């Protein structure tokens, strides 16, 4: 599979690595201010729910240096910024629905002037009762969506017949994206009512569409360009559009370039996060640990508008099975409405929230039955028919769960370490260790079938240098590095002859978001097709140059074009192609075949394929403080034939640690009035250096090409995030060693949550009530 001189399937540095490291990489806020540039600042709602009675702008407008203040009535086009549902006004017009919702945009010569003006604006809002808790919203029947259901067999009967029934509730919390680069857009008005938008977005085409709609223009008036993001993680899939559209409104109102940049506190208080979920479950098991039936009601906190909540809820349901065959099941999911910022995409997109449920079920069942949770997991993997149908009736093909399980548990010496841990725990009073194995099966594709398309545009210049454009965006995941490898491989040129261009809507139109882990699958295939078109044209030219038959196979490799034992430099072929009046640009296009899903029936094939992985996680817990440390992580992940293995390793490690953050230290705390209290890294704690264990071994599954995907590779962006759920299993194992009672561990597993769990397992109920908590 590996060509001697191709960059494909070989480790590589990040294509922007050196520019990251010397400060030359340009992000939107680094673009030198164009002449006359103004800055815009959102005036946010201070209340969670209310009716907008009046906005007095006179004092603010009188401030020197304030150039425009824009409210809903100033919007020339449509006051809507929702991606699909048309339920999200860009600027509040009659009502406000959350703290932080945009009420107005101030445009001034400096942020200081913006703040001064914002303080001078008098917004009168008549407060209404707000719903701030997910459970309250469920009780009050406040929902954004209709239930989405999946069923198989007679789950009630199966539960009634099951020897062991595990019943309970589980909550998983929100998570701030904490991309290091906050939201930012710069809009430059150009001639004839056209606009150039520089945006930090995963979805330039949607930014283009929303800017055009808000301005009341056709989309061809707007060009959006994205060089790179300083992190996205889903947070810039839909919600970058807001700030681009606001900047565009400011640019239109003033005729000057306008930048809207959010500082950290603004970013965290004004934008949506990972959806918190509340789920109720009942599961039936055999005494041996076979999962017989599962009933789940999953509710997500959508915040005040729909955003992508339906699709995120859907993906939760699609991953309630994770890696396990469920013979009888009923799943129901619904998005609740609260007066919080509208929650949005975040790596995993509901998948982690769904998997957290089934993994809790399996952990509890294993603990109840006194079985090794890894063994219970293995018993329940998908397998041969009929155990190969997902809850939505997609066939599980090329399943690698057992292969990963067996290899990783052997390599990581799981069984031996579990025995060692048992001995350690017997002799250690205040510190206990635990180990957990986490398998992951994650569906790859946008579940909204139409989004599974991508385009590319490749330009070869007469000197043989190449520009590659594609519809995907670079947010650090290494997509551009992979696309350079694909293009260099296909054209047979050295990677340094290729320049990967900024993503721009005037190069490739109507693109999908770079999301759903699909970036390199979709765009890679489009790049490949464009290269193939160019190569076939150049092959004709090369044959002529070499003087061989047109039927002779022509090879393109490492800057050399060869046929019939003779070779010419690529540059010479290109120069000749120009002279011969052969077109040196081509588009490429790809759509994923066969994706369909019937939501009403709860059946279909929403995924092109599944990505697999496994992790063994070992932790140590203090029973005195509830603090813990991850001691060791071993991961074996299936990325097919990796396009660029060094990039994929980075995605696996980074995804795992981000998942660990969600499950352990990251906690969003809100005031009773609906204000986010943890709105900066002072109070919101993402993992730091020593959360990453010193023993952190990551292996890619070898000899595992994926059929039907570019060069046998597989998507990698999201699946590793969920491997971190193994830390919860390990923590439960350690906590269980403190006592005899059932483990009740809340997520995120903060020191406080862990200490509560330790106290709970080690004390009598009476003692806990007395708060006599010495273990």
Binders in 740-769 for other proteins, by CB under 8 A: 750-752, 755-756, 759
Nearer CB in complex with other proteins: 110/536? 110
* Distance (Å, whole) CA 582 – CA 576: 9
Residue 476 within binding range of other proteins, rule CB under 8 A: yes
Any residues with CB less than 8 A from the CB of 746 and at least 6 apart, and which?
Answer: 171, 753, 756, 757
- Interface pattern 651-690 for other proteins (x via CB under 8 A): --xxxxxx------x-x-x-------xx-xxxx-xxxxxx
Identify the bridge partners of residue 3 per DSSP, sorted by sequence position: none
Give, as ranges, the residues between 97 and 116 that touch other proteins (CB under 8 A): 112, 115
In the complex, least distance from residue 658 CB atom to other proteins, rounded to whole angstroms: 7
* Distance (Å, whole) CA 334 – CA 316: 10
**Stretches 58-66, 223-231, 280-288, 380-388: which one binds other proteins (CB under 8 A)?**
223-231
Count of other CB atoms within 10 angstroms of residue 91: 24
Length of the chain: 775
Nearer CB in complex with other proteins: 600/689? 689
In the complex, least distance from residue 718 CB atom to other proteins, rounded to whole angstroms: 14
Residue 32 within binding range of other proteins, rule CB under 8 A: yes
Nearest to 48 by CA among 10, 81, 82, 92: 92
Residue with tokens 């599979």: 1
In the complex, least distance from residue 237 CB atom to other proteins, rounded to whole angstroms: 15
Side-chain half-sphere CA neighbours of 420 within 13 A: 7
Residue 694 within binding range of other proteins, rule CB under 8 A: yes
Nearer CB in complex with other proteins: 235/302? 235
Nearest to 84 by CA among 257, 401, 330, 311: 311
Identify the bridge partners of residue 389 per DSSP, sorted by sequence position: 395
In the complex, least distance from residue 726 CB atom to other proteins, rounded to whole angstroms: 15
**Stretches 25-33, 496-504, 559-567, 590-598: which one binds other proteins (CB under 8 A)?**
25-33
Give, as ranges, the residues between 626 and 655 that touch other proteins (CB under 8 A): 626-629, 631, 646-647, 649-650, 653-655
Torsion of CA 315, 393, 330, 368, to 10 degrees: -90
Beta 585-591 vs 596-598: how paired, if at all? unpaired
Helix (H) or strand (E) segment spanning residue 647: helix 645-663
Number of residues this chain uses to bind other proteins (CB under 8 A): 89
Residue 25 within binding range of other proteins, rule CB under 8 A: yes
Give, as ranges, the residues between 136 and 195 that touch other proteins (CB under 8 A): 177-181
In the complex, least distance from residue 25 CB atom to other proteins, rounded to whole angstroms: 5
Sequence-ordered strand ranges (E) for 265-413? 277-285, 291-301, 328-336
- Interface pattern 412-441 for other proteins (x via CB under 8 A): ----------------xxxx----------
DSSP letter (8 states) at residue 99: T
∠ CA 277-184-227, rounded to 5°: 105
Nearer CB in complex with other proteins: 22/707? 22
Instruction: Return the SS3 of 293.
Output: strand
Cβ-contact 214, 79 below 8 angstroms: yes
- Interface pattern 309-328 for other proteins (x via CB under 8 A): --------------------
Q: Pick the catalytic residue: 133, 359, 367, 718?
A: 718
359 annotated active-site: no
Cβ-contact 198, 186 below 8 angstroms: yes
Residue 17 within binding range of other proteins, rule CB under 8 A: yes
Nearer CB in complex with other proteins: 32/565? 32
One of 48, 66, 104, 229 touching other proteins (CB under 8 A): 229
Known catalytic residues are: 718
């Amino acid at each position: 599979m590996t060509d001697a001189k191709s960059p494909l399937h070989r480790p590589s540095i990040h294509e922007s690595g050196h520019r990251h490291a010397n400060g030359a990489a340009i992000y939107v806020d680094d673009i030198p201010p164009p002449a006359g540039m103004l800055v815009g600042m959102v005036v946010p709602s201070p209340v969670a729910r209310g009716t907008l009675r009046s906005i007095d702008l006179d004092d603010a407008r009188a401030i020197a240096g304030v150039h425009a203040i824009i409210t809903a009535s100033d919007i020339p086009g449509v006051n809507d910024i929702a991606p699909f549902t048309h339920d999200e006004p860009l600027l509040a017009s009659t009502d406000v629905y959350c703290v932080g919702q945009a009420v107005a945009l101030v445009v001034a010569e400096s942020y200081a002037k913006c703040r001064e003006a914002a303080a001078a604006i008098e917004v009168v809002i008549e407060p209404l009762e707000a719903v701030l808790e997910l459970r309250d919203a469920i009780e009050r029947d406040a929902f954004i969506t209709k239930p989405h259901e999946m069923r198989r067999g007679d789950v009630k009967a199966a539960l009634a017949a099951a020897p062991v029934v595990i019943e309970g509730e589980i909550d998983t919390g929100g998570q701030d994206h904490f991309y290091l680069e906050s939201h930012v857009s710069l809009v430059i008005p150009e001639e004839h009512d056209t606009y150039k938008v520089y945006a930090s977005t995963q979805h330039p085409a949607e930014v283009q569409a929303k800017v055009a709609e808000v301005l009341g223009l056709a989309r061809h008036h707007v060009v959006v360009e994205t060089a790179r993001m300083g992190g996205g993680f889903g947070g810039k899939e839909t919600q970058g559009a807001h700030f681009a559209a606001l900047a565009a409104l400011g640019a239109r109102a003033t005729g000057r370039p306008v930048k809207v940049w959010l500082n950290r506190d603004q970013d965290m208080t004004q934008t949506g996060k990972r959806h918190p979920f509340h789920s109720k479950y009942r599961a039936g098991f055999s005494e041996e640990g076979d999962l017989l039936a599962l009933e789940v009601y999953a509710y997500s906190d959508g915040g005040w508008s729909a955003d992508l909540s339906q699709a995120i809820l859907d993906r939760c349901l699609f991953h309630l099975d994770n890696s396990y065959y469920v013979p009888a099941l009923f799943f129901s999911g619904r998005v609740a409405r609260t007066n919080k910022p509208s929650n949005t995409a975040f790596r995993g997109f509901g998948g982690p929230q769904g998997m957290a449920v089934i993994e809790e079920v399996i952990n509890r069942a294993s603990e109840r039955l006194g079985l090794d949770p890894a063994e219970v997991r293995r018993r329940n993997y998908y397998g041969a028919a009929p155990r190969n149908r997902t809850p939505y009736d997609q066939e599980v093909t090329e399943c690698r769960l057992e292969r990963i399980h067996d290899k990783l548990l052997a390599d990581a010496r799981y069984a031996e370490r579990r025995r060692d841990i048992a001995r350690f725990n017997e002799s250690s009073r205040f510190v206990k260790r635990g180990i957990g194995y986490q398998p992951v099966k994650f569906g790859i594709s946008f579940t909204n079938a139409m989004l599974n398309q991508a385009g590319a545009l490749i330009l070869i210049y007469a000197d043989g240098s190449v520009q590659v454009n594609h519809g995907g965006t670079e947010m650090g995941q290494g997509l551009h590095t992979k696309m350079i490898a694909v293009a260099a491989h296909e054209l047979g040129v050295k990677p340094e002859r290729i320049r990967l261009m900024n993503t721009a809507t005037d190069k490739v139109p109507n693109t999908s978001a770079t999301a759903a882990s699909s970036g390199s699958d979709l765009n890679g295939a489009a790049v490949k097709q464009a290269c193939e078109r160019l190569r076939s044209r150049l092959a004709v030219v090369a044959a002529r140059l070499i003087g061989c038959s047109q039927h002779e196979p022509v090879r393109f490799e490492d800057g050399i074009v060869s046929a019939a034992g003779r070779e010419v430099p690529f540059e010479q072929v290109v120069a000749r192609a120009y002279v011969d009046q052969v077109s040196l640009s081509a588009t490429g296009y790809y759509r994923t075949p066969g994706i369909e899903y019937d939501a009403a029936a709860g059946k279909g094939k929403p995924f092109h394929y599944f990505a697999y992985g496994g992790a063994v996680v070992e932790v140590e817990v203090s029973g005195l403080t509830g603090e813990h440390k991850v001691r060791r992580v071993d991961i074996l992940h299936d990325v097919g034939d990796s396009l660029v293995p060094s990039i994929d390793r980075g995605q696996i490690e980074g995804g795992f640690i981000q998942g660990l953050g969600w499950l352990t230290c990251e906690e969003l705390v809100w005031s009773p009035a609906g204000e986010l209290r943890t709105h900066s890294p002072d109070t919101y704690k993402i993992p730091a250096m020593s959360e990453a264990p010193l023993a952190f071994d990551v292996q890619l599954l070898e000899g595992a090409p994926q059929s039907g995907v570019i060069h046998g590779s597989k998507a990698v962006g999201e699946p590793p995030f969920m491997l971190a759920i193994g830390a919860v299993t390990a923590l439960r194992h350690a906590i269980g060693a403190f006592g005899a009672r059932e483990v009740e561990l809340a997520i995120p597993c903060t020191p406080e949550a862990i200490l509560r769990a330790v106290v709970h397992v080690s004390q009598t109920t009476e003692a806990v009530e007395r708060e006599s908590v010495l273990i």
